[in-house]
Structure 1
Amino acid sequence: MADIALIDRPAEIPVRMLPNNVEAEAAFLGAVLIDNRVIEELSTPLRPDHFFEPVHGRIYERVQQLLDRKAVVTPVTLKPYFEADEALKDLGGASYLARLTADGQGLLAPRELAEQIYDLALLRELVSVGRNLVDSALDTSESVDPMEQVSAAEAALYAVAEGAATGTDAQGFAMATRTALGMIEQALLSGGHISGTTTGLHTVNEKIGGLHDSDLVILAGRPGMGKTSLATNIAFNAAERLRSDIADGIAADKSVGAAVAFFSLEMSADQLATRILAEQSGISSEALRMGKISRDDFQQLSYASQRLAELPLYIDDTPALSIAALRTRARRLKRRHDIGLVVVDYLQLLQGSGRANDNRVNEISEISRGLKTLAKELSVPVIALSQLSRAVEQRDDKRPMLSDLRESGSIEQDADMVWFVFREDYYVAAKEPKRPGEADDAKTHEVHAAWAAEMEKVYGLAELIVAKQRHGSTGKVRLKFEPRITRFSDLAEDAMAAHSYD
């Protein structure tokens, strides 16, 4: 048998330079210094770290800072900032800035130069990802999980595809401030209520300011409270707002709506679609499932389905997903459809890595951390539904608390917001006394009448309890719930006369 050649033979592998074009960088900077408007016309998101030559990166960063101050940038105005730059002295000192503008060739094709600088930076990031991938794949120690390596590699490749740096450099405060001002501007333009994605519920938006990018929102409730209905309502409202805004000529990045990825581990895609059809057509879900509808109802249903055909709502009903697989699928949807909201129904049905399966609390901790990481990685809000423990049923006041979250420690810690859905009519209905007949005494009639009066007072009312919120105050929002079509909506003005939320 022939000898197997060793993979690692560094003596025979030539040293290759990382992809770069320093001349293109110099020509582009020269064009910018001759005509500052070049930067305003760029379609490529060029950043200082995209330049291969560090000096060029520092020059570009200073140019951006001066332009932000509305200053005119020329070699002369730049000179004071680089007189002490040791690396620039090796290139000829401050006179190098003047040489950049000597021939002006960059003005012939500044956009093309910027695109080439950007593309080469992405190739360098890809080389870095490849090196790290090879290094980690050659690690055969027992502590290494190959599937985790695959997931990490996918995340790194996604970052390259999105044009994000794969490093962990700290972000300048100026950039963070610009992002914050952008959110404040969006809230101002929306009428002073929403700085993120809309929930479609006015009173909820007023309380939380919309769904914020990078936030993990935990939506919890006991069975029968309507948490899946509320999540479906919010997903539909966000997708419908984006669709209508685009139809009205509003750019997607200016809309408070969003394309939505709905991961349904409990219900099938057609069951979720039936719920949305029921909500939009006004026909009960039960009637739709059993076919108990008239011809007029069917026409109404057909009209509703036509309106929903172009809805940017993507449902993945794959059962028993692992957190790693969910993150992979979410990245793919972000790349293909630019989703702006992820909904997971529900958290306890997700699976962790094999190593955490021996301890359910550790597995839930891994899943909640993974969902928070996903929110930050894609820069979208993630709504994850969660079960509550049975401790709620043992109390007189059935309103949930943070301690009622199952395996609550890590979920409560990782979440930016925790919401509880509570419907008092659910519990009042369960306490219905014996229905009185003609032969029953007055006391039986009186007891049932008192129950009926209490039921009438609370029927169709729901509370969204905001138990944790990093961006603002906690409290509760009162909503209307229509169980026939599983729809949450804002209460009418007269019903909110006392207070819409605490």
Structure 2
Amino acid sequence: MSTRQPPANLEAEQALLGAILTNNRVLEKVSDFLRADHFSHPAHSTIYDACQTLVERGHLANPVTLKPYLEHKEELAEVGGARYLAQLVDSVVTIINAEDYGTLIHDLHLRRELIAMGTDLVNEAFQAELDSSAVLQIENAEKRLFELATTGQQDGGPKTFKESLIGAINLAELAHKRDGELSGVPTMLADLDKKLGGLHDSDLLILAGRPSMGKTALATNIAFNAASFFRERAQEGEPAKSVVFFSLEMSSEQLATRILSEQAEVNSHRLRTGDLANEDFDRVLQTATNLHSVPLYIDDTPALSVGAMRTRCRRLARTHGGRENGLGLIVIDYLQLLQGNPGERSDSRVNEVSAITRGMKALAKELNVPVLALSQLSRQVEQREDKRPQLSDLRESGSIEQDADVVMFVYREQYYLERVEPSQRPEETRERFDERHAAWVERSERAHNKAEVIVAKQRHGPIGIVSLFFDGNYTRFGNLQGGEPPPEEY
């Protein structure tokens, strides 16, 4: 039985190389997507690589200039040495179809890679290893397929200033059509949206805070508000988008309970324990029915790797409108619970977190969506008199601060004040104690149901503090108006 040969077209490779040697400007048409290893014949790969090197150095690439570099190469000796270069030039009929030859060579390379990948998949599936489960093999296969599919895509490269201006005008037009609303994804928190301009595509946003500050509650509110916004826009005829929330700490049911408590205005603890009056339970059921169509997805897989998360985001983007408009927002709770990709893990947690943040930023750019990732803060915050976080408080702060486009902190003074009610000191007069206690009460009243979002870094906008309303009964953040929540919302 004859063995099938991998797909290749030596004539197309010879025609392209001959065209390049005849006119080096042909290289400009194919160099963006065609690499030396895309050629099937080793000699052709060597010649193409040498042509690229000479042209990049500003030299002419032809049989004469290439001869000193290639005459001793074993790959070229097999096809006749330097004389083969002259044969390539002599065989050229036209250089008009050179780009078509390059596209054909690239396509055949992809086919050979697919064949090799299929062979590897079969061999790996037959090998049972403890650290390589079937699910991990599937994720790796999907990753390799995606990388292969995007190899040679020509959607990158420099753009003219005119193209960039058109993109900027399109963003401004979108905002203008929304009557001054945001061009980015809105959080529905007016002051925060005003400070950030919404959550912008391809941005990595870090939301950090100490435990019990409400960072998960705020991220949940933002995710739900964004999903509700996308539902409204889809009903108006705009492309459908969705939000995916990766919850590595809480289960999907716990997150859904938080959202249900907030929307139905039922105390979250009573909802969890079942301590509800009949009318409250009826309201919960009605609210749940209304929320069924909200395009919010929750993935509560523990110890998820960046690669697995990227694979799931790509899959969700494809199944909901394609890579350009399937996803509108990705939320990750929280960064330190993510795992590095197999083979990229390091003994140093700082290095591993660096790889994770780079992966999240790459994901934001690849899918062109904002990625909101939660992060822990170090305990050194608790050692200071002023508990407001700062950039140096971020765990593994170097890589997080560097890769993030926006860094925000959640801070609730009320949390700390409730735990430091003053007591009378020895030898302190009653009058002095009453003064201190009255000052504490006044300060506690000012901080009651209030939260701060500290925008400590914003690559494209201002930094500063945004005040929000926080209702612990419903784990809900809202707009603050004159110190009180707006009556129509609360």
Q: How does 1:382-401 map to 2 (within 5 A)?
A: 382-401=371-390
* Contact 1:193–1:210 (8 Å) recurs in 2: no
Q: How many residues align?
A: 383
1:170-199, Cα deviation, whole Å (9 max, x unpaired): 143344433332222112222334121111
The 3-state SS of whatever aligns with 2:451 is: strand
* Contact 1:125–1:165 (8 Å) recurs in 2: no
Report the CA distance shift for 1:283/1:91 in structure 2 as closer, same or farther (over 3 A): closer
Question: RMSD between aligned alpha carbons?
Answer: 3.9
1:223 aligns with 2:187: no
What residue is the counterpart of 1:290 in the other structure? 273
1:274 aligns with 2:263: no
What residue is the counterpart of 1:103 in the other structure? none
**Shift of residue 252, structure 1, vs aligned partner:** 2.5
* Contact 1:331–1:378 (8 Å) recurs in 2: yes
Match of 1:198 among 155, 169, 186: 186
State the distance in 1 between where 2:167 and 2:274 align.
50
Report the CA distance shift for 1:414/1:405 in structure 2 as closer, same or farther (over 3 A): same
* Contact 1:419–1:468 (8 Å) recurs in 2: yes
Report the CA distance shift for 1:168/1:342 in structure 2 as closer, same or farther (over 3 A): same
The percentage of aligned residue pairs carrying the same residue is 48
Amino acid at match of 1:332: R
* Contact 1:18–1:124 (8 Å) recurs in 2: no
1:420 aligns with 2:409: yes
Match of 2:153 among 166, 169, 192: 166
The 3-state SS of whatever aligns with 2:217 is: helix
Amino acid at match of 2:111: V
What residue is the counterpart of 1:99 in the other structure? none
1:189 aligns with 2:177: yes
What residue is the counterpart of 1:346 in the other structure? 334
**Shift of residue 135, structure 1, vs aligned partner:** 12
1:460 aligns with 2:449: yes
TM-score computed with the length of structure 1 as normaliser: 0.67
Q: More displaced, 348-357 or 231-240? A: 348-357
* Contact 1:126–1:157 (8 Å) recurs in 2: no
Report the CA distance shift for 1:293/1:189 in structure 2 as closer, same or farther (over 3 A): same
* Contact 2:9–2:105 (8 Å) recurs in 1: no
1:176-224, Cα deviation, whole Å (9 max, x unpaired): 4333322221122223341211111111111111111111000000111
Amino acid at match of 1:15: A
Report the CA distance shift for 1:146/1:469 in structure 2 as closer, same or farther (over 3 A): farther
What residue is the counterpart of 1:74 in the other structure? none
Runs of 4+ in 1 over 4 A off after TM superposition: 16-19, 87-92, 120-126, 131-137, 145-153, 440-447, 493-496
Match of 2:463 among 474, 477, 500: 474
What residue is the counterpart of 1:251 in the other structure? 238
Unpaired stretches in structure 1, ≥5 consecutive residues: 20-47, 53-86, 93-119, 497-502
Report the CA distance shift for 1:124/1:216 in structure 2 as closer, same or farther (over 3 A): farther
State the distance in 2 between where 1:90 and 1:224 align.
68
The 3-state SS of whatever aligns with 2:318 is: helix
* Contact 1:348–1:387 (8 Å) recurs in 2: yes
What residue is the counterpart of 2:8 in the other structure? 15
1:139-194, Cα deviation, whole Å (9 max, x unpaired): x9xxxx99999867634644787x89635751433444333322221122223341
State the distance in 1 between where 2:462 and 2:387 align.
22
What residue is the counterpart of 1:210 in the other structure? 198
What residue is the counterpart of 1:324 in the other structure? 307
Unpaired stretches in structure 2, ≥5 consecutive residues: 13-28, 34-91, 98-103, 125-130, 321-325, 486-490
* Contact 1:268–1:317 (8 Å) recurs in 2: yes
* Contact 1:159–1:166 (8 Å) recurs in 2: no
